[in-house]
Structure 1
Amino acid sequence: MAAAAPSSSSKGSLREDLTCAICCDLFREPVMLPCMHHFCKPCISRYWRGTLGPVSCPQCRKEFHSKQFQTNFLVAAMVEKVRATTSDSYTKSLEKKLREMMESHRQRKENFILGVRKDKDLINVINRVGTDIKTRIKGEFQALHQILEEEKTSMLEQVTREQEEQLEKVQRHLEASESAITDLEENMQVLQQFSSAVDNIEPAELPQLRPFSHVDRVHHFDVDAFSNRYLAPLQYMTWRRMFKSLRPGLSPLTFDVDTAHPSIHVSRDKTAAVECDFMTQHACHSKRFLQCVNVLAAQSFHSGRHYWEVEVGSSAKWDLGVASEAVDRRARVKLSPENGYWTLRLRNRSEYWAGTQPWTRLQVSCSPQRLGVYLDCDERKVSFYNADDMSLLYTFKNGPRGKVFPFFSPCISDGRHGLQPIKLLHHPAESLHG
């Protein structure tokens, strides 16, 4: 609790005790007579001037044989302290400190109010996203009918549990922030009361305040990460968990030979592509990649949702994803969204990267043999999955507009590893791990 400010009565009593009875002002060079009464040295000297014989105390009239007194340094120090604390400069300094403390508390309160507002907005976002996810999940599961009822219930509970966990974190932060605001408001009230009594404070001491409550930073909620775990190719993921194979299920892609770089050999059924040591004599075509070892699928997409899988085996490096129709196929360009490419890549056999600018390193627990690519043209998202367990690897949130093609690159081999083809899968693997 804040210490109480000195009362005006105690202040008046102290000043009276330090006031000379002769000049009625604060002591100047206070001296003490044998009777223990105090006076200003100039005042008592002037009072006794011209007196012959015994002198007396102006207050108690006690007589003394000689003009004797002694300087009282303790009283002198108290007088100087009272005189200093009642000066205009000291009062202005104290008022300035009080204003600064009030402004500091006001700013802190504003910051906490802003944090509370963000927490409440975040709660609304979490609730809205959770509701949207639930609605989407219900819609997807209606297409699968009663046979998927148990899977639907399980996933809804998982979403609800995660939503409640997120809400609990935000709620704890909200309560902490509101508690901090309450403490600050009480401190501000104490400071306000202290400020109103600043003229009566002697000696001056700032009030004791409640310690500042520690509040962690505002909890970060990744809406996209929360959504992408559930809004992927949901029906296909669920069927993969239930069946060893699914036909049909994948987009039946084939390689477009007319786009293949001369170093790429495409199989007769157009489902496998591999980088070769020799250049294949292809007919000249405006669609062909000439500087980079790339190839596109013959199929293109501009609306709706699409999913396909690619087998990469034990290749040491590759690139795959989607490419805009208008990419420059005659020049060597960086694979990035700015240049019309949304890709995932492997380097050095174990380094996985998202093809951002600059690259984004991904933490992958195990090297996938098959990759899944999910393209949502309407929401402009491109997601990559480990098709062995359908775990999400990365999602581009600002995906392509307009017509796009599935994109592949076996990359240039370094000669240390055997050539590994990229294969387009038209049916799921026989088993789903995990």
Structure 2
Amino acid sequence: MASASRTKRMKEMAACSICLNLMTEPVSINCGHSYCQKCMKQYLSQIRRNQVQKMFVCPLCRAPFHITSLRSNKQLGELIELIKEMEDSEHELLCEDHGEQFQLFCEDDGQLICWRCERAPQHQGHTTALVEDVCQDYKEKLKNALTKLSQFEEEYMNQKAFMEMQITKWKAEIETRRQNIKSDFNSLHEFLRTEEKSYLWRLEKEEDQMLMRMRESEANLQQKCDELKSHILVLEEKCQSSAQKVLQDVKETLSRTCAVKLEAPEVFSLEVQTACDVAELYLDVKAMLRRHQVGVTLDPDTAHPHLYLSKDRRQVSRGYSQQNLEVSSRRFTAFPCVLGCEGFTSGRHYFEVDVGEGTAWDVGVCMENVERGLGMKQEPELGFWAIRLCPENGYAALTSPPTALELQEQPLVVGIVLDYEAGTVSFYNMTTGSHIFTFPKASFSDTLRPFFQVYQYSPLFLPSCNE
């Protein structure tokens, strides 16, 4: 009984404080405590999952230790094996048939047998050996099997960790795509709202113009009715008068009456001209915008002296000051700007600017008579409607004050839509077909022209309508 008590005490001392079982392949740390190698690996991996570090604390006494201080405790391992053998000896099994100890192992049947079983007919001719002789060999085989299964378990844990990483990555990809879809549809919604306002404004204008004409015609008809009533009253009065009054100026009265002609009324077509087939027009935003595309070329008479224009006047870059340029009051002198040759006084127009991967640019439209010298300020109140990219502040609409723009993707080509009658200037990222910004409604009263400000190492290119 005392032997069993000592064995229990030894088992408690050799137990892992993590799994509470006898340690398997024990490892020790600086503070002297030991743990199962597998339990320690899981403990370290759980902490590393939350933070990258090399210093840890003992799970039992919280003493710090370095990961490199882990050492295999072979002596403790051998002691644990001895404890297991002692425990086994205290609980030796007896043969149920003969009541004898199992001292032999039958290799053919893979069973423990006693010396009397060996002589029984069922084990005649079988290979048998002493338990002590074959135990170590089978223990090694079991350890090899355990090592193999542990390796499999570790591999599955690695695969599980990799799968967790894949799941996290996939969820991040899905979230990114979700945000892109939301952004694209928000841009499309903004574009459609702008288009809706434009078409409703045109419909309202058509309504007002037609109502004005019809009311003028109505007033004209009323005037003719009033004139006829006056004639009728004169004739009725004559008919009821004396013979002298009837015949007085009768020929002149009849002449005036005969001169009255029934005029055909003005015919108005009640067919509304403003129409919008949403499904047909807006299925492809880029295609819809390009229905109003106009070719734009650069006006050399407006170009700042530091700007160089290509021969076809579709590309502009910035360099050193050019000499012997023709003096022109139309030339920009304060900032490196240039205008397009085309002027717009009505209608809807769209043009594109290839900004490439330039780090800075201003593009938009401006009034013909804007300030071009030192007093120049790019604000809608002073005749400028443009957006800007600059290295310091990123994208911005040049409102007053400027409006910062958060773009999901860098526009390589910027599309500009001018609706003169609706008083709107809108910008689109033609790389994605998404809406960038629309200036608040304005009242245009002068010729508008394409406007560009050019920065160092950021040339601008104007594609033709066919490109």
TM over 0.5: no
TM-score (norm 1): 0.42
TM-score (norm 2): 0.40
Determine which structure has more spread, i.e. the larger CA radius of gyration.
2
The structure whose RCO (Cα within 8 Å, separation 6+) is larger is 1
